[in-house]
Amino acid sequence: MAKWPLPDPMRRALALAQEAVVAGEVPVGAVVVKDGIVLGEGYNLTRTDHDPTAHAEIVAIRRAATALGDDRLTGCDLYVTLEPCGMCAGAIAHARIARLYYGAGDPKGGAVEHGACVFEQAQCLHRPEVYSGIGEGEAGKLLRGFFSERR
């Protein structure tokens, strides 16, 4: 029985999460795509860059916005290996991301299906379509491996 193949951008996000492990960063990767073309990608860089805002999603969004020369990523999709936190969900709304695809859910820090449920707030000015659980097995394995080594 063939396994359903992951979409290319999620496979790339998982590869980026693996690079984060090598860099000693929490293994989360993210890719911004428009019409099949990667506009920005990245992994968690909070320690490397001394930047508490440098989660994978923020890194990928900032790079894509620079590439487009626009602070709005209209029509763009974001693939990320972990459920975004509140900061990143806010950035996704500000950036006008059209579709959000994420891997593992994050009961401790996620703010899409957990906690603040950012996109369900009446205040939220832009709600992306959201698809979860894409590559969650692989994403969760990377995260568990990373944190078990540090305990």
Please give the annotated binding residues, written as ranges: 55, 85, 88
CB of 8 to a second copy, least distance (A): 24
CB of 68 to a second copy, least distance (A): 7
Binding site for a second copy (CB under 8 A): 46-47, 49-54, 58, 61-62, 65-66, 68-73, 85-91, 93-96, 108-109, 111, 114-116, 118, 121-123, 125
Beta strands in the chain (DSSP E): 29-34, 37-43, 77-82, 99-104, 129-132
**Residue 44, number of CB atoms within 10 A of its CB:** 26
Q: What's the CA dihedral at 130, 118, 135, 54 to 10 degrees?
A: 120
Pick 1 or 37: Cβ nearer a second copy: 37
Measured CA to CA, the distance from residue 68 to residue 32 in angstroms comes to: 11
Pick 6 or 58: Cβ nearer a second copy: 58
The single residue of 25, 41, 57, 138 carrying the catalytic annotation is 57
Q: Active-site residue 57, yes or no?
A: yes
CB of 2 to a second copy, least distance (A): 38
Residue 94 neighbours by CB under 8 Å, 6+ apart = 126
Pick 14 or 76: Cβ nearer a second copy: 76
Mapping DSSP onto H, E and C, the string for 23-48 reads CCCCCCEEEEEECCEEEEEEECCCCC
Enzyme catalytic residues: 57
